[in-house]
Chains A and B, each alone.
Chain A
């Protein structure tokens, strides 16, 4: 392929993929009252406003709790399961791996609806708890997948050697295996965090008074208001994601795991 052609293809591609994001950043710096590009004057008022909107603050905290807590629980469930799948002759191994990775294939909106109708309503579960469980189930496949590949890349004679040298099985796991897959677990955590934090369909039906994730809050805000605050919030969230990915790439070569 000749150089000019390849250069123009890639330029057009980057404009299409990244351009809209830059426009959002520009629009969020506007001094005007409505969403517009080019921005009407420059100011930080909308960026500042984002931090003063109470519902954004509450839903941000909610999303953080779901993303951090849900991913943590998913790791507690997923790491042992991944270990069993890669190191043991597990009875019904195929079925186990299918059921834990299924939530990736089934659309989230259906999971949300199912939990609302058959967990929240009949057992008077709180919506917040159901939302937490739904986010955990959603993240579980990612943790199992990423951590499994770490286990598979780690030679199993290491823990066998540790056991032969007198360590207990549990001791061998915590002192030999875990330190070696630390990067994989961190990668799974970041992937799970981002997936949960950006997730919308699962949370659609699992919203109630005081229980609302940030993306859902943004969707309902933009339905009623046409000011640049959602743009400002979008820009801030994007910067947060970029920061996380940048740090992850810097410190563990994140892209190897995803």
Chain B
């Protein structure tokens, strides 16, 4: 550890000043805009925003999809992570590689694939008609289901990878001990696995939840203007109506939700360390 303070500041200052000027200050000004009016500080932008049924619908939908994607990815994530940690070392490495691979591929490319699958002449509709379950194409694109599927595919790898590392850090005999002592699988999961992997679940959950809340590409491609989420609504308010005040309100809601999720993460992680 070096003690020279001037040297330390000289090293760290360029990055800190850059982030403050290019990022922090402009963002704070955008947020402040939602509380300003010619008459002074006010909440009127917020009351106006929430009095609009469409805005409330979009907020609730964003929150609902965020929760749904997080819960479902946790359920699939546990099953998958559990299967993966029990593989041989080489099998595990290969699976982790396959699961991380999509994370490096452009989300536009990944989301575009669902158009081919869910579109009017897509694979799902072809299959449904071939089996005779439906006479005409069903609208699958531009529905909440399509956005849900797209988000799940986008963020599931993050959850699985977090849970794999949590399960690997868990003492191997804990499950066996609980089984020997007569616990059924449900009790083993609820009383042993879940508490011991809580940290991984929280990390994965935060990544998936904030990722879903702030998704733009998925709702833009698979939801369109029929299934707006907060970010697509923000974009629409600005480009269609030049409505910067609503944009500021949405920005504040998004940031507040992300910070709340991250704070929760920190709280849960440190609570664990103290014990």
Contacts and interface: CB of A to CB of B under 8 A. Distances in A.
A119 B106 contact: no
Contacts, number: 245
B2 A144 contact: no
B216 interface: yes
Contacts of B15: 77-78, 80-81, 96, 100, 140, 144
Interface string A96-129: 1001101101111111011101110000000000
Interface string B88-115: 0000000111111110111111101111
Given A6-B83, A37-B122, A99 B11 contact: no
A156 interface: yes
Interface stretch (B22-30, B39-47, B137-145): B22-30
Nearest to B214: A107
Interface string A214-258: 010011001000000011011101100110110001000001000
A245 B254 CA distance: 32
Interface string A1-40: 1000111011001101110110110010000000111000
Given A80-B15, A89-B3, A140-B15, A113 B247 contact: yes
A200 to B, nearest CB: 5
Given A20-B117, A109-B234, A230-B112, A137 B217 contact: no
B231 interface: yes
Contacts of B95: 10
A234 B1 contact: no
A200 B111 CA distance: 13
Nearest to B28: A114
Q: Is the interface of B mostly helix, strand, loop or mixed?
A: helix
Nearest to A115: B26
A110 B231 CA distance: 9
A198 interface: yes
Contact of A106 (B27, B119, B121, B156): B27
A182 interface: no
Given A87-B2, A88-B4, A237-B109, A102 B19 contact: yes
Contacts of A103: 19, 23
B98 A18 contact: yes
Interface residues of A, number: 83
Contacts of A133: 22
B255 A110 contact: yes
A77 B244 CA distance: 32
Given A23-B117, A81-B16, A237-B106, A117 B26 contact: yes
A100 B17 CA distance: 9
Contact of B106 (A95, A169, A241): A241
A231 B109 CA distance: 7
B78 to A, nearest CB: 10
A231 B23 contact: no
A204 B82 CA distance: 39
Q: Which 9 A-B pairs have the closest CB atoms?
A: A234-B109, A20-B113, A114-B26, A88-B8, A81-B15, A6-B83, A84-B11, A84-B12, A107-B214
Given A140-B19, A144-B15, 5 more contacts: A17-B156, A88-B1, A96-B15, A110-B255, A234-B108
Interface of B: 1-5, 7-9, 11-12, 14-16, 18-20, 22-27, 29-30, 76, 79-80, 82-84, 86, 95-102, 104-110, 112-117, 119, 121-123, 153, 156-157, 160, 210, 214, 216-217, 220-221, 231, 234-235, 238, 244, 247, 251, 254-255, 258-259, 262
